Structure 1
Amino acid sequence: MALNLIKLCVGCESPEQLEGWVKHRLAEKVRLGQPLEHFHTTRMVPKRLDDLAGGSLYWVMKGMVQCRQKLLEVRPFTDGEGVSRCHLILEPSLVLTEWQPRRPFQGWRYLKTEDAPADRTRGEAEELPDHLRRELTELGLM
């Protein structure tokens, strides 16, 4: 069973906003003639690389896990100042998930598959306004 990562999506309030960012970044790469891959840079390099094969990066937005992106590769590198970092190479498309409350934390954390929220279809996610979905999730009714 694959291991996943979970991370706060700082400055992003919805999966739709994240999708817009991804599309913008990919369009910039096309414009600049750069390789067409989507990644997120992080300071810490996961130690359990083999366990992450086939996993995903789950995004926390406004205190709730709301979506995930398939993790394609973890690419460690050293930046210009000699600091170890890594690129989390991600599938550009998002998969919406059931909302799951999460308290703020720094960096990323490992997330076991059995603790990860289930995927949902886009139609299901749009049935309720966000404020109702949040309240029902916090009450444990969703």
Structure 2
Amino acid sequence: MDKFTHLIKLSVGSDSVESLGAWYASRAAKGPDGLPRHVTRMWPRREAELLNGGSIFWVIKGLVQCRMRVLRLDRVTGHDGIERCAIVLDPEIVRTATAPKRPFQGWRYLAPSDAPPDLPEHRQDEDALPADLAGRLAEIGVL
């Protein structure tokens, strides 16, 4: 199997997977091609690995709860004239097993072996547990 990597990022301002989805469904979060994108200052140095099957895993309320597949990286120039990286994402949000994650700044690489698994297809539409309960269950290895 070819080598790939993921990113992990705090979803600042999201209260739930649903609120993250609402943001990425909004016009403000979409690029000119209509696909959602996350714009960041830094260009991933491990671009080839990321584009070889990687996703962004989103930390919401201290828990990894979902991921979005990375489709490509685009160069964009902000209103301030500074070039940035737009991480273009698949609009499908895939729920994952919850896993606690301490706060950090920016994004980090996440090895596939350290990434929480996707929830089975039949559980993708389940209502999420309250974040504090999900966090406590994840800490003891139940979720």
TM-score (normalised: structure 1): 0.84
Residue 84 of structure 2 is matched in structure 1 by: 85
* CA offsets 1:33-84 (integer angstroms, 9 cap, x no match): x431211101111111111121101100000100000000011334343433
Residue 134 of structure 1 is matched in structure 2 by: 135
Residue 51 of structure 1 is matched in structure 2 by: 49
| Whole-Å separation in 1 of the counterparts to 2:128 and 2:140 | 15
Specify whether residues 81 and 123 from structure 1 end up closer, same or farther in structure 2 by C-alpha distance, changes over 3 A only: same
Residue 111 of structure 2 is matched in structure 1 by: 112
**5+ unaligned residues in a row in structure 2: which ranges?**
none
Letter of the 2:45 partner, please give it: K
Letter of the 2:38 partner, please give it: H
Taking only the aligned residue pairs, the percentage that are identical comes to 42
**5+ unaligned residues in a row in structure 1: which ranges?**
none
Structure 2 contact 99–135 (Cα < 8 Å) conserved: no
Q: Choose between structure 1 and 2: higher helix proportion.
A: 1
TM-score (normalised: structure 2): 0.84
Give runs of ≥4 in structure 1 deviating > 4 Å.
none
Shift of 1:134: 2.0
Tell me the matched-pair count. 137
Specify whether residues 136 and 37 from structure 1 end up closer, same or farther in structure 2 by C-alpha distance, changes over 3 A only: same
